[in-house]
Chain A
């Protein structure tokens, strides 16, 4: 049997259903691993060991009676500490929320509870899903399993770290300007930002109402599609929730890419902004792989990356400030410095500027839709640069907008980050595969073909037992 630390959802689920593996055995193995190693990586803010074992025992009993609920039944997962779990604090990794207690589960937590999934605990993030890896908060920042001195990406940092370190086969993240895909990129795992409205935001602490997305994070593309199906669906209590079923992402997953027309948005990283040569070489090789697999890549052109950034950041600043205004006024010192620096500009965004940003968003969405008319999908870089040191706030701030992810928060269309190789031996590289609204099946299909052909998503960092706790 595969090492339980890196067992996939798909394989684990098959073993569970066949009763060749117990959910209790799998859960206990991961809890033991977290207890032994997480002091090195700081992925978890709260481990719910007792509840997890109780859920695992319940799943074991149901499966033994032939009451298998589906592919997440008995599968352990971790949730970014921005999702409400009844009775637990939703801290958002912030001093300001330490005394909070959730009265009910977030919609997606409830859905996973109904599937019989096992919650291992709540994982670290950048404070309020913005800011950055901060050392002036009650909990230390999560550390990159590939190199603990480097930024693991964010804001769903703990989710990606938990996956890469072998603490969980599945994790939930949120994504407003790339917060699922950035840590997935930096930690060498798979991060999907689905279509806006495909997954409910109910019970998720908001960063911005119109750019936020809940996203599944896994080590494997098929696993990601399984998790997506488990959490997608209409939520009548969430006004942003779409009233349509998600397309079947598993039925056509392994159909390959022969004949698919794939746009390559290369001006983002070749003309609009400086990009690390390793990232550029990796995506050029990736486009070559897609061509060898039978796809038909072709360059396409959108508005310059800076305009997309302007649009996303203006909406982001205004909406995030509206949410945090009272605390920023009354207790600004209780935010981490990086968070404060991200929130404060919103105070000075005029109503006219916000409305113009919404007009710009509509224009950019039309533009993207037009560009995709003759295409099945598009690819571009995720991060333009390589991860910087985690303890260098100036470098982190300078790389904040050096990315192509926020484009797809503006369009609200699906985009996935997949590994494209490594720089300097062990620094994960990645690209995005983007699709039309609600065309997650196509995005997963291309991601699966690419990852199966290259094997980069199967690489694992060298994990050692905790030698020292890190701040």
Chain B
């Protein structure tokens, strides 16, 4: 991803997608660093865990019952 971010047009496009044109204009170096950090891939799950078998926290509709 860092190679793509060397292209100013890509960073410009990316910021436009997030309505961050003002931030890019004022802080171009900061935006580039932010994009590099935000787009950095996450580390792998520990051994024995799979994204197919271990969901993120489960939605629990019963938690909302008291709001009815």
Binding site for B on A (CB under 8 A): 236, 239, 303, 306-307, 310-311, 314, 317, 328-330, 332-333, 337, 340-341, 344-349, 353, 355-360, 362-364, 367
Known: A332-B26, A363-B49. A358 touches B57 (CB 8 A): yes
Q: Chain B residues near A364 (CB, 8 Å)?
A: 46
Residue of B nearest to A366 (CB): B49
Interface of A is mostly: helix
Known: A328-B23, A330-B22, A359-B51. A344 touches B34 (CB 8 A): yes
A362 with B22: CB separation less than 8 A:
no
A360 with B30: CB separation less than 8 A:
no
Known: A358-B57, A359-B56, A363-B54. A310 touches B42 (CB 8 A): yes
A382 to chain B, nearest CB (A): 23
A132 to chain B, nearest CB (A): 14
Known: A317-B38, A344-B30, A344-B31. A360 touches B45 (CB 8 A): yes
B22 to chain A, nearest CB (A): 6
Residue of B nearest to A236 (CB): B66
Tell which of B27, B35, B43, B56 touches A332, judged by Cβ atoms closer than 8 Å.
Answer: B27
Interface members, chain B 3-45 (any A CB < 8 Å): 14, 18-20, 22-23, 26-27, 30-31, 33-35, 37-39, 41-43, 45
Tell which of B27, B39, B41, B55 touches A340, judged by Cβ atoms closer than 8 Å.
Answer: B27
B56 with A355: CB separation less than 8 A:
yes
CA distance A357 to B44 in the complex (A): 10
Top 8 nearest A-B pairs by Cβ distance? Answer: A348-B38, A344-B34, A358-B56, A345-B38, A345-B37, A332-B23, A363-B49, A345-B34
Tell which of A306, A329, A337 touches B19, judged by Cβ atoms closer than 8 Å.
Answer: A329
A348 with B22: CB separation less than 8 A:
no
B63 CB-CB contact with A under 8 Å: yes
A307 with B38: CB separation less than 8 A:
no
CA distance A311 to B56 in the complex (A): 13
B22 with A341: CB separation less than 8 A:
no
Q: Chain B residues near A357 (CB, 8 Å)?
A: 42
